[in-house]
Structure 1
């Protein structure tokens, strides 16, 4: 497995792969890899000949009171994890590589989508995401890029960027990976205590109740919100519950098959997000 820390050597490697007609898939991460990331990498292997994983803890997507400084950074473990998953190359840029200090900062945003849901409580988050991802796509020029379903709003925003800017990269959404309790895997789950995990499992249980309600014929978003809240642990502070169109993310009042429920909340300062697709015949 190759390791690249600067853009010139990375581009030389990428050009060699182009000369060899090798397809490349990118999995962008902030490190602290887990089975959810493994599923993205496994998905990437089905799409390409070579898989590149980037690890960059992006300061632009953290707010002033968030966990940038304490975010887990087990780099040696991450490197071994990628080797075990047959990753072709790791890109490990510094902040100055991604955001050169002597360059005029070019800001890439999708305001109409970034101000919704997670963007209401984390106003700089999606701007940070789009800025780092578009830079990675331009540096690596992958044939495909893979994101996780858990971060569904992020996936739709990046998809919009790729389409609006006519980038040739194809974007894929990989299904959520959950632990035995149903909790969607996240690097931040490391912060959760045993009791926290018990409480966090109520998110999955509540979403299952919503899915069952939809399949039984309850399609009103207000009623479904009440269903979700009823089963949710009182220790979780709700940020939002949103029923949305799966393509535009616009809110819906009556569910149609294929719409989504998006959830975000906080449990003892740990942010938890989840989503379900709502289908019925």
Structure 2
């Protein structure tokens, strides 16, 4: 059955997805794409809303990608809330939801996989999650080839992922504009994330300390304070708040290498709090 242009799927059929999108593009309509793993929150919906401002049609994918989860990570437990997700997307005015099966995404017993550049992928989150960004790059490339959008958008909360996807688009010469959206936060500063629901009430009350440490550290860097001292103090503050810090790093916002004066810079952090692994980042004016 052919989808009505204004009807939100979901569609599980790749041929149907392509027919619908190609018909829009043949009519001169710009198609935007928002890849997600579902369990949508206000941050995801903000991506859809932003892309609707620059595109005639917005397609959202919902796929929990097994190749970006490590052997001891939460793939089986990752929340799946398809009905609620579709209701939220429909209310927001998204045009189509692409909900592929694992067999559609990885049809071969030993599927082709992308290897993300080591300089971007083997540091920060990649150091603690080996192979994670290979899985991200592999599924995003597949989604881009299936949807063939004119534009796609990603949140800056996953800043390392954003840089890797930009590099992926350049390296494969994909004709897709990559847009980004600043991190969407709760009122108390906590970055919105599907994994925030793993936090107990007590942990949720402590969780904003991660953003507070980044904010205070960025301000001190702008004043010229010693980085080694600030990094040690940040680790101590996170530990005192009940976190298990994994990293707090000051990096180039272009390469994730050593920050350079006069070039964009970023503070990035990851820490465990109970069952949740939280990440955040902040631009540095130093």
Query: What is the TM-score when the length of structure 2 is the normalising length?
Result: 0.93
In structure 2, the partner of 1:190 is 197
Give the counterpart of 1:82 among 89, 96, 115. 89
Where in structure 1 are there 5+ consecutive unaligned residues? none
Structure 1 residue 258 corresponds to structure 2 residue 252: no
Out of 209, 224, 229, the residue aligned to residue 223 of structure 1 is: 229
**For the Cα contact (< 8 Å) 2:218–2:267, is it kept in 1?**
no
| Whole-angstrom distance in 2 between the partners of 1:168 and 1:247 | 21
- Comparing 85-94 and 225-234, the one that deviates more: 225-234
Q: Give the structure 2 partner of residue 53 of structure 1.
A: 60
Which residue in the other structure is 1:207 paired with?
Answer: 214
Post-superposition offset of 1:92: 0.3
Supply the RMSD in Å over aligned alpha carbons: 1.5
2:5 alignment counterpart? none
| Aligned partner (choices 58, 64, 75) of residue 68 of structure 1 | 75
Q: TM-score, normalised by structure 1?
A: 0.94
1:180 paired residue number: 187
For the residues of structure 2 that align with 1:249 and 1:257, how far apart are their CA atoms?
Answer: 12
Aligned equivalent of 1:110: 116
Match of 1:136 in 2: 143
Instruction: Tell me the matched-pair count.
Output: 277
1:101 Cα deviation from its structure 2 partner = 3.3
Does structure 1 residue 18 correspond to structure 2 residue 25? yes
Q: Deviations over 1:124-169 (max 9, x none)?
A: 2101100000000011111111111000000000100100111000
Alpha carbons 1:202, 1:233 under 8 Å: kept: no
Structure 2 portions without partners, runs of 5+: 1-7
